[in-house]
Structure 1
């Protein structure tokens, strides 16, 4: 039994989906095979193939787009697509173009709206941990502060999909291990570049955060993201190991390189108020994997749906939607990236359990659900074209800007 099986318990199977490899009649989709013909893999680059097909599911017929990524090829790699800051967004095609990727899909769920907190601006920052090219960008928000569907039993915002320095893909979880050493003693660090901090904690913000306000971090609670913003807050700016500024409320604007801004709420704010300009402060942080000894080179958040060939127990089998997912096969050497089509004719989509079953049908042993709905996008540079563009129809009619994604980089 695998580590993840011990964590989640035995999975359960659902009715296998009928995957029809013909294309829909009249669908204006890139690279479609002739009506009635079997869908063939289209070679996009070395180690990277694409195809599309119909799925007949509970809510009706939907349409899937799939990328097959061969990580055994040394010319192929997978990296985090992101716009250079945690609290920023861009389209998948724009991110892929800017970073030189051949293809990609959208990534984690994110802080998309703040209707419950008047005057507070949504940050656009993602829910879960993020690592780019081996550098830790952020940690996970509390479970009750996440955006997206209800998490399956046994999962949390710390769950990640990623690729290790050994070039093998895997599922895991990453938790924050950090501290703030002050003249008054050592404080635990409750957050790193997060749009929401645990109640009573201190969070650190670096230049990776971006220029968005840090005020959202003190709104909501660990169990209710709509709860009012805290009125007990404090902020301390640290540079060169010393406090250089303090404020009663979280601020905004870029954090300069070599600078860390500490934001405290409730008990955390009370601890930070003990510091004054000139106080010595040392901030340390890292993300720790529960079971893997090989570091992640790239990782992002979401939640697992398939573990060692078994569907996780408790997956929703009633709500159908347009969705994005990633599957792992061949001992972590092959990926399947799935994005459903958001065109009106296919928008009924799949349930989460059907997504897991689809990924298993494709050959995945493990699978991970990513953000869906209007965020679901697959972009690629198709043969005969010179630019990366969406190959599915985003549900909103245009690509939605997202905080991150999975980018595939490959030789020709």
Structure 2
């Protein structure tokens, strides 16, 4: 029994099975005609891209710049890169993280992490496997069939034990490290033999494999006429599902046959230390003719390089993990060894490679998220050659790409960057872990851990953590460190910091003779891109209470909850209060139909618009008297769309259920719930937002709505880019910038399974919809606003409103090609009001559902909590505030016309 200690933790129970038969190869042949059996429900691997492999070409104009590097552990370094490339004439940038492992360092090693408890068919996230096995860093691993039980497509050696054998697929490379710490990248085949006690032999096709469609052989199905071994690492009862016609299985314990189940599977999982031989067709006939309970059976095997034909004994390997195409060879982009059409596009990517001298292994993960544009495989090749990879392969990418690492002085790993699904980590079959066996050393340094960004009024706890000469974490908290903060933006007491005002400070901790500093920035209003209230609309009625948590988004993209103490609330049109995160309407001013609760953080504002009808219920499916139907775009896709009785928390109500099965379809597939034939259902007035309750199915598919607007154009609304939840959830969708012309008609709600990265999403599932509502300002917050026409001439101190001439004390002007008007008179004519702050020179314009914050001499403005930029800024003339006409009118939903001959501006509502 191999027992490997890494990071102070034994891997005996976490790194796969301990079954390790003799490795001697016995040559043999099998005479006779091969009978190809049909496979029931075979799970093919065609999605891996079988077929002709194109020649890879290095991406033009590609560059990579190292941003930072930090030690993870002795022998492992985290390096961050920014890459820049050109796509269709446009520049694209992104980020990648590289863990460089020094194989010359005796304390660091690589191994394969497998599922839960080191077992196949269990699946676990990369972070979960790292935590379970004690890895200090990790990345996702091999490709796998998402419809199968959960076994890798390629070969796998973990802790020196062969866990799974390579599949018979062309161009599938593997990465390995030998027990004498040499990296290898090659393509391997598996050769094995079973020998009965009477000397009869039969080829062994593999160990712990899911069902798939082999390539380059005589059989269409992996398990037809074949014998496979399943060890105790395979925890699923089916070995595997959809493998072939009725199997014959043999239980082998200590090389002795203890059970034979003719023409049926054994109804047990594999006992510890044993294995089950699963056979079909000719292999089953071999069992019936030559194997007897109580007799011995011998199994031998080896791996063979496809490129050199050399034999490789798996017992000489510390680890091996399968991948896909080779990417880099001899320091240059290589021709792809396999078609990459099914894994193309600009995605998150995972790869492994090593340096020319074999000293360094590069564990690579490129991001695809809001901060990074992802990589094509060709661009990935360029990145790898840029950073010094001599030979490298592609691992499973896209939504599977996940990297975790243990920051210096920390005790556990964290997500290195957001996945394609945000913080969500996909459950996968295996991954590559980085481990340390370094002893405890002397304290080398200390560092401060805690948030680097705070908001005014926010409290945050900081801790002092240390690391030793081998970069192991060391507890230094017991030394009762002293804390100080430079400047006056932050106060600190015993590690708890309180943000006082905008600015950047140095937070310092001292423990004995050692000290550490970190930079903390307190964000002011000028540092924000948006301020978001938990609800944008609320009912305007005495006694109404709504939750109004407020979050800030910094210009760098960070989202932070705003402390209640940092907010100042102002109420217009009603009397109210905010406490414990809830807005309460105490009384409504006489005659007011629209009110505003304005939240300000250091001068930056957002508003909750309150109206007598904050949201209009549109469809709850309780009394829907029109038909619903399932439709699709792709042959082979089936499903149902119907109003059904709700269950669980929706028991007693009706919901629209959409079930779909896309497993027989191809390409980009849609499953539609169609409303009222081709007519749809009317949305009668302009809507600024939509709300819908959705029961998710965790399929990771895309959910959308389809509308036809008043101009006859089709509009598509994203309800959820990723269905990454189970159960009911309320989705709120902003329609204010959609460009939809109302009245409109909602035609369909639907689920999309896009072709790119299709293997990552479920092809079957059920979602449901309930309580669809729209905020329609003309029916609520904009009800009663004046309609009509107003005209002003440049230089003239008069304004004609619906045919009646009115005096104004400041004339419209033209400056640098832009027309400026006194905002007071526009609001007098079309409704709304303005709030002027002489100290900050800000003017907040309120009209209907819009809250517009302008600052004199500043081009930036804030509309409903979102910072935007205009071409020109407001100005003051003769003690009146003049605003850029087109900016304000367009933002307030008014229409502007310009008559050049008369220099007349006409505004319409």
TM-score > 0.5, shorter chain as reference:
yes
Give the corresponding residue for 2:124.
90
Q: Does 1:73 align with 2:105?
A: yes
Q: Does 1:321 align with 2:335?
A: no
**Deviation string, structure 1 residues 104-162 (Cα, Å, up to 9, x no partner):** 1111001211xxxxxxxx2111111111121111102232xxxxxxxxxx613xx3101
Where 2:380 maps in the other structure, the secondary structure is helix
**Contact 2:60–2:86 (CA<8 Å) still a contact in 1?**
no
Matching of residues 81-230 of structure 1 within 5 Å: 81-83=113-115, 84-113=118-147, 122-143=148-169, 155-156=171-172, 159-182=173-196, 183=198, 185-196=200-211, 197-216=222-241, 218=243, 230=244
Where 1:321 maps in the other structure, the secondary structure is coil
Matching of residues 360-399 of structure 1 within 5 Å: 360-397=385-422, 398-399=424-425
Where 1:123 maps in the other structure, the secondary structure is coil
Matching of residues 200-349 of structure 1 within 5 Å: 200-216=225-241, 218=243, 230-240=244-254, 241-251=256-266, 253-274=268-289, 278=293, 280-290=295-305, 291=310, 295-303=316-324, 304-314=326-336, 316=340, 319-346=345-372, 348-349=373-374
Where 1:216 maps in the other structure, the secondary structure is coil
Where 1:270 maps in the other structure, the secondary structure is helix
Cα separation, 1, equivalents of 2:208 and 2:110: 23
**Deviation string, structure 1 residues 298-325 (Cα, Å, up to 9, x no partner):** 1010032111123222475963221100
Deviation at 1:266, TM superposition (A): 2.6
**Contact 2:250–2:257 (CA<8 Å) still a contact in 1?**
no
- Which of 67, 70, 86 is the equivalent residue of 1:39? 67
**Contact 1:246–1:277 (CA<8 Å) still a contact in 2?**
no
- Which of 63, 66, 70 is the equivalent residue of 1:19? 63
**Deviation string, structure 1 residues 312-360 (Cα, Å, up to 9, x no partner):** 22475963221100121042210111112232443x4212122122111
Where 2:194 maps in the other structure, the secondary structure is strand
Cα separation, 2, equivalents of 1:324 and 1:289: 26
**Structure with greater proportional strand content:** 2
Unmatched 5+ stretches in structure 1: 1-8, 22-37, 114-121, 144-153, 219-229
Where 1:39 maps in the other structure, the secondary structure is strand
Cα pair distance change 1:215/1:316, threshold 3 Å: closer
- Which of 54, 77, 83 is the equivalent residue of 1:55? 83
Greater Rg, structure 1 or structure 2? 2
Cα pair distance change 1:100/1:74, threshold 3 Å: same
**Contact 2:348–2:398 (CA<8 Å) still a contact in 1?**
yes
Cα pair distance change 1:287/1:87, threshold 3 Å: farther
Cα separation, 1, equivalents of 2:128 and 2:354: 26
Cα separation, 1, equivalents of 2:299 and 2:162: 12
Deviation at 1:386, TM superposition (A): 2.3
In angstroms, what is the RMSD of aligned CA positions?
Answer: 2.7
Give the corresponding residue for 1:6.
none
| TM-score (norm. length: structure 1) | 0.79
Where 1:273 maps in the other structure, the secondary structure is helix
